[in-house]
Structure 1
Amino acid sequence: MKPLALRITLVLGACLAGPAMAEGVLAQLYAPRPPAGSAFVRVVNPSADTVKVQISNGAEQAIGPQQLASNYTVVKGDQSFTVSLNGKPVGQLKVAPDSFNTLVQHNGEFQILNDSNGNEDALKAELRFYNLASDCPKGSLKVADGGPVLFADVASHATVARGINPVSASLSAGCGNATSEKLPLPKLEPGDHYSLFLTGSAAAPVLSGQIAKTEGYGK
């Protein structure tokens, strides 16, 4: 189906479903889009303290134990942008155009983890796993209760991803023989991107997760 035909079909279906849904679909269709060469950046805070982060001119967001990662913010690719924590600039970084990136502080500096190489199958959901646990050279993620291993030997401060068919399951992660408590997956839809963060320590690993989201773009 051509893009114009698809757009007409979406709008017509939304209008038939009701004015509220139609308004939401129209807002998505005609919302401002980031210019070519833009990039998307978020920050993860694996510590026990909640901080407020601002990326470039984006909205200030609270990240910590309840929500480890901020939403992705649109920045200009190949141009420096500022990251602020609790209102104070703490670093200037630059990322490649047309890329998705997660920033995490490591040894006093922001490390850039490339999130771009992931699932491209629109009929599947994506699981992206980050090993951010201290003293954990090889992290792993598996389906709980004896299920298959999804990711093995993930290096410290590294990320990997794969596509899955949306299913109901509980996952656990760990370092060596130490395993986190089980984490039930939320109901995922095709095209969803779900981030899983291994934090804590090698002896006491913690697994948490959240749906990856992007801030709305305003010109």
Structure 2
Amino acid sequence: MSNTLSQALVRNFLGNSPIWYKQAIFAFLVLNPIILYTLGPVITGWLLIFEFIFTLALALKCYPLQPGGLLAIEAILIGLASPESVYHEVEGNLQVILLLMFMVAGIYFMKDMLLWVFTKILLKVQSKTLLSLLFSFFAAFLSAFLDALTVTAVLISVGVGFYSVYHTVASGKTYHHPEHDHADDEAVHRDHRDDLEQFRQFL
């Protein structure tokens, strides 16, 4: 019964995100109080900033509101911030918070459509220079209607989508392979490794 309960807790912690991601967030939550006690609040505060950046950079692995919220709650519990200061910051930045919750999250759900549009561009245009200019043009066009954070989320979503598709196919698997690890190059065919490295540099 205990094993089943522990497995259920691990499986439901942060939803369907990868095990290594869950382990990283859990390690952050465990290490932060220890680092605060040993190295002080300044080092811990900077470490928390990098942990938040980590959750944002891997937003496609797990929606950052969950791990970011856990880190924020822990920061209050260990005394790095007071509830009053958090309330003041929320009150002053409520628009940005709502933007993060809905606009950036909406980009995640439109990932397939964005990937389809930019894939058409990628397949039609053969020149790298022209392709770079087109991407810059679309970024500027989107910037006219969206804020910089949402445009960045669009470009990151498209870039990660391109890479995931290419890495999966280069590994000899179908596009919708459910358990493919895009961080592992062992399965990538030798003939495709140079192309994969050039594709990484391009992205």
TM-score in terms of structure 1 length: 0.25
Q: Which has the higher contact order (CA 8 A, sep 6+)?
A: 1
Structure number with higher helix proportion: 2
Structure number with higher strand proportion: 1
TM-score in terms of structure 2 length: 0.26
Structure with greater Cα Rg = 2
